[in-house]
Amino acid sequence: MGYRKVAIVGAGLTKFVRRAEETGQEMAYLASKMALDQAGLKLKDVEMVTVGSAPDAFDGVHMKGEYLLSGAGGNGKPYIRNFVGGGTGVFAPIHGWMHVASGACDVCLVVCSEKMSSCHPHPQGAFLTIFDHTTEQPLKPTLIWIFALEMRRYMETYGLTKADVARVAVKNKNNALDHPSAHVAEAVTLEDVLNSEVLAEPVNRLDISPSSDGAAAVVLASEEVAKRLTDKPVWIAGVGWNLDTAYWATKDLYYPRYVEKAARMAYEMAGITEPHKQIQVAEPYDPFDYKELHHMEGLLLCERGEAARLTAEGYTARTGNLPICPSGGALGVGNPISATGLMKVIEIFLQLREEAGKRQVPGKPRVGLAQAWGDLMQVGTVIVLKR
């Protein structure tokens, strides 16, 4: 298709924590340095840098891209920040892919950093103005409203119970016990989730991922450079992104059509015709437990309305036929927005290299995907990786 082949050759992650002492810049450095070390590269080898980060109002740092620059190794280099809401963490490596696939450079560093703990009394305050200022804000909507609305519509459409959805939280939080970055990995049971505080029916506290501070980074390289650096490159086989209308109340809330469109774009590029058979491990975005189910369906990894049953049957467990969020996901590892999406890409990178340690899924997977989602339930970003 005229694109150059692009590989991930190194990855770095910080721990995801409730409150970091480190600044966003320092977190970006820790992840970036680890990624470069793993790739066997020095900063001078990096030709271009792209940084993904959520709204400035989270960190309380205006022009956050510019602020993060030096920690992300961008001083004096072609550098740019990318942003598509919660979809940013998977868009960032897509953006890096553009740099390398186009031939603009051979080595691109991709960094995501988020320091949510600066924002008081709650980061949701920064989100109050995403709603239409004239027709919605006077009703005092909050972020949790729209997720509760979407979750209920999804449950109603397919006749799902709270327990059907909560099994995702149980799986992911327990998966995260094996992740070194995990913020709040807890060995929770189905009863724990169902009995946790009701925040906005049908959403309970343990249906939601915790907001965290954290950073992640990957190094992308062209084919020639990648083969010189490593005998285990992981190739970016397909990328896709798509956005739907901001008139969110007019959409079919039970099905993320924009995620399907993004997935189809990535699958076509990757030559994937039967995703439910060809994708062997996946990290869909799971800031809420129902979102994992929603996204499995949008990604065409199962029939519509079937994801909850597959979860109950253990099909999506780490040892199941199609492991979903073996990392522990946002629900388990924590949710520093953009860094979460990139953490998911890194998980697939590690799984395909068989370097995921205790989290390694069986069967030597060769093809995996990561996906993120965000804005006013509007954006899907998808990346397909191959060994």
- Distance from C-alpha of 348 to C-alpha of 354, rounded to nearest angstrom: 10
Which stretch, 30-38, 100-108, 169-177, 360-368, contacts other proteins (CB under 8 A)? 30-38
- Distance from C-alpha of 101 to C-alpha of 225, rounded to nearest angstrom: 13
Contact flags string 154-193 toward other proteins, x per CB under 8 A:
--x-----------------------xx-x----------
Contact flags string 206-225 toward other proteins, x per CB under 8 A:
-------xx-----------
Name 225's Cβ contacts closer than 8 Å, sequence gap at least 6.
9, 106, 107
Is 198 a residue that touches other proteins (CB under 8 A)? yes
Choice between 253 and 372, CB closer to other proteins: 253
Is 299 a residue that touches other proteins (CB under 8 A)? no
Among 2, 121, 159, 362, binds other proteins (CB under 8 A): 121
Name 367's Cβ contacts closer than 8 Å, sequence gap at least 6.
237, 270, 272, 278, 279, 280, 352, 384, 385, 386, 387
- Distance from C-alpha of 136 to C-alpha of 285, rounded to nearest angstrom: 26
* Cross-strand partners of 111: 51, 217
Contact flags string 241-280 toward other proteins, x per CB under 8 A:
----x-x-xxxxx---------------------------
Q: What's the closest the beta carbon of residue 172 comes to other proteins, in angstroms?
A: 18
Among 9, 30, 105, 322, binds other proteins (CB under 8 A): 30
- Report DSSP state, residue 326: T
Check the CA dihedral 89-91-95-98 and report its sign: positive
Nearest to 87 by CA among 248, 284, 270, 279: 284
Q: What's the closest the beta carbon of residue 379 comes to other proteins, in angstroms?
A: 16
Q: What's the closest the beta carbon of residue 103 comes to other proteins, in angstroms?
A: 26
Is 230 a residue that touches other proteins (CB under 8 A)? no
